[in-house]
Chain A
Amino acid sequence: MIDFSVKNIRIWSCLGSCGAFGQAVLSLPESDDSVIVITADLCSFSGLERFKNKYPDLFYNVGIAEQNMVGIAAGFAKEGFNPFISTYASFGSMRSAEQVKICMGYMNLPIKLVGLTSGFSVGILGATHMCLEDISLIRAMPNIVIISPADSTATIKATIAAAQLKSPVYLRLTGGMNCPVVYKEDFSFEIGKAIQLKSGSDIAIIATGSMVYHALKAADILEEQGISACVIDMHTIKPLDLDVIKKVCSLRLIVTVEEHSCIGGLGSAVSEALSMQINRPPLLIMGVNGSYPHAGDYEYLLKNAGLNFICIAERILKTFKEFFDE
């Protein structure tokens, strides 16, 4: 049983989402003896040291062989296991795309693919390790649930929720170590149900993953400028919470924010949902546009992409004025 104490939430925040995943998965065999964990050479990086030491028979490190890892997980799943597999998001989603499509999308096996450091968080290693296309790619495959938790606490909740799901899941982890805390205490997490973190009457900011924190901070800045913004944590990108999107159609502007390409991710999913609404406001999709940046540290890359809270607030303010110059 995981203790959502203030102390633990702080430690999980220091560990970042990868370390938090390791802490969550450590608790799973207590209630589910079918859980096994496989990694592609990222044991410590996935926060899995303790799992490996505590459950050596439930842990497999396949080396740098991501495609093989998905195939092995499929075999375990066919035998009734509940496999979690972890590697860098770029290699899990893109290098293994065909295996993910066949084993998870087509065969619908309940593999939990954990994409570590998605977005820019290991961008210091260059474009090979930046992962800005994974949502787009996996969203097009049938059956696979896509979850992108906002912080380390949400990562714990999402991991536990994913374990209980009998379908394939892509758990997209963003942010680095010392990731900001969005959820300061235990909270209710339901796959497919977005969480409204702040109410507002002018615009809705729908964010996912690491961008939820930045959306909240941007909303504070906008408030000072006289724009009332509600902030929604869209932790599940597929299936999308259509009810919450219908509700925000009464506002003047919808903004989506994601540490992902502007094409094919959260913004596209919301756009598709809005397309069937007769009365809908304009949609501003904020994400990564253009070419891959040079290697750089996380904060630099976020700023460069216009995805820190200051840039987000400025862009929203500019767009709002363009539409509604009063």
Chain B
Amino acid sequence: MNNEEKYLHVFMSTFDIDEITAKSLEFQGIPAWDSVGHMGLVTALEDSFNIMLEPDDIVELSSFSKGKEILSKYNIVF
């Protein structure tokens, strides 16, 4: 699984959504991505990519696309 697939899988499995929904998803766009779901997403991303997100990055993780931008700071190449 490449990083793109891994990243997509994290969103799909964390929020139990399909690929199309995942790719356009924004924070609070679905009930599951609330403040609790956000922490679930953060821990899943950290586990999948073996990283520790900085607090500012956790706050700024506001959409599927923004998340990719943030992960690139951790040398994750998409």
Segment from B4-12, B28-36, B65-73 that makes contact with A: B28-36
Contact A53 B39 (CB under 8 A): no
B36 proximity list for chain A (CB < 8 A): 11, 15, 19, 22-23, 47, 49-50
Q: Which residue of A lies closest to B53 (CB)?
A: A14
Which of B31, B34, B43, B55 contacts A11, CB < 8 Å? B43
- In B49-63, which residues have CB < 8 Å from any A CB? 55
Contact A49 B34 (CB under 8 A): yes
Question: Main secondary structure on chain B at its contact with chain A?
Answer: helix
A47 proximity list for chain B (CB < 8 A): 35-36
- In A1-56, which residues have CB < 8 Å from any B CB? 7, 10-11, 14-15, 19, 22-23, 44, 47, 49-50, 53
A19 proximity list for chain B (CB < 8 A): 35-36, 39
Contact B35 A14 (CB under 8 A): no
A7 proximity list for chain B (CB < 8 A): 43
A15 proximity list for chain B (CB < 8 A): 35-36, 39
B55 proximity list for chain A (CB < 8 A): 178
**Interface mask (B21-47 → A, CB under 8 Å = 1, otherwise 0):** 000000000010011100110110000
Distance of A281 Cα from B34 Cα, bound (Å) = 51
B34 proximity list for chain A (CB < 8 A): 49-50
Contact B35 A11 (CB under 8 A): no
The size of the chain A interface, using a CB distance under 8 A, is 14
- Report the minimum CB–CB distance from B67 to chain A (whole Å): 16
Q: Which residue of A lies closest to B39 (CB)?
A: A14
Distance of A53 Cα from B36 Cα, bound (Å) = 13
- Report the minimum CB–CB distance from B49 to chain A (whole Å): 15
B40 proximity list for chain A (CB < 8 A): 11
How many pairs of residues, A versus B, come closer than 8 Å at their CB atoms?
27
Q: Which residue of A lies closest to B42 (CB)?
A: A14
Q: Which residue of B lies closest to A26 (CB)?
A: B36
- Report the minimum CB–CB distance from A193 to chain B (whole Å): 30
A178 proximity list for chain B (CB < 8 A): 55
Contact A53 B42 (CB under 8 A): no
Contact B31 A14 (CB under 8 A): no
Distance of A50 Cα from B40 Cα, bound (Å) = 14
Distance of A22 Cα from B31 Cα, bound (Å) = 16
B43 proximity list for chain A (CB < 8 A): 7, 10-11, 14
- Report the minimum CB–CB distance from A199 to chain B (whole Å): 32
- In A178-206, which residues have CB < 8 Å from any B CB? 178
- Report the minimum CB–CB distance from B12 to chain A (whole Å): 16
A50 proximity list for chain B (CB < 8 A): 34, 36
- Report the minimum CB–CB distance from B68 to chain A (whole Å): 21
A-B residue pairs in contact (CB < 8 Å), sample of 24? A7-B43, A10-B43, A11-B36, A11-B39, A11-B40, A11-B43, A14-B39, A14-B42, A14-B43, A15-B35, A15-B36, A15-B39, A19-B36, A19-B39, A22-B36, A23-B36, A44-B35, A47-B35, A47-B36, A49-B34, A49-B36, A50-B34, A50-B36, A53-B31
By a beta-carbon cutoff of 8 Å, the part of chain A in contact with chain B is: 7, 10-11, 14-15, 19, 22-23, 44, 47, 49-50, 53, 178
**Besides A15-B39, A49-B35, 14 other CB < 8 A contacts?**
A10-B43, A11-B40, A14-B39, A14-B42, A14-B43, A15-B35, A15-B36, A19-B39, A23-B36, A44-B35, A47-B36, A49-B34, A53-B31, A178-B55
